[in-house]
Chain A
């Protein structure tokens, strides 16, 4: 079973920041938080991951709370092409398998 809880859907206006929350209250000390997204009919695409510290790359920022029980993926300037299902996954670096839950369907509106 997925160890994360995400809202089933969210809307965001084009050009605004999209903030996607994820709860992972049972996360273990050695588990990372990963984010993937899946644009319609395509394979999932890696976005970002982190352990404790906040992370930023060219696609997004990941904010992890101090107690690590929740995190937020931030797309700073959402575009229509960011419309997708976003998956939050927790996994350690020993197990190789990702468990995908239902994710959040983000709709970026013009």
Chain B
């Protein structure tokens, strides 16, 4: 069955380190998204992509970058991790057009010490 996976599921890192979170989907969806979820804030959009080589900034993009070299993957990179980036990160994908419903991955819990 098609699915969306994230790795690692849990990560502890130190301030200043570069961290990359992986997201992989097998639905062949054009659209992919990264959100972060913090207590009291719901889900906030970080970056998104509408297709290969396309990336766009979301509401809270500072300190994060993404690249889209193929349809299946949208890795999220924290260039220099900060304690404020401790959060749960969710990746999602959706098909172009139609109902646009998004399918979410299981999440990555990142702790920056």
Contact = CB atoms under 8 A, between A and B. Distances in A.
Contacts, number: 51
Q: Mostly helix, strand, loop or mixed at chain B's interface? A: strand
B94 A96 contact: yes
Interface string A84-95: 000100010100
Interface string B27-61: 00001010100001011110010100000001000
A65 to B, nearest CB: 21
Interface string B69-113: 000000000000000000010101010011111111111000000
A34 B103 CA distance: 13
A102 B47 CA distance: 20
Contact of B101 (A34, A99, A100, A102): A34
Interface in A52-95: 87, 91, 93
Contact of A98 (B88, B102, B105): B102
A28 interface: no
A21 interface: no
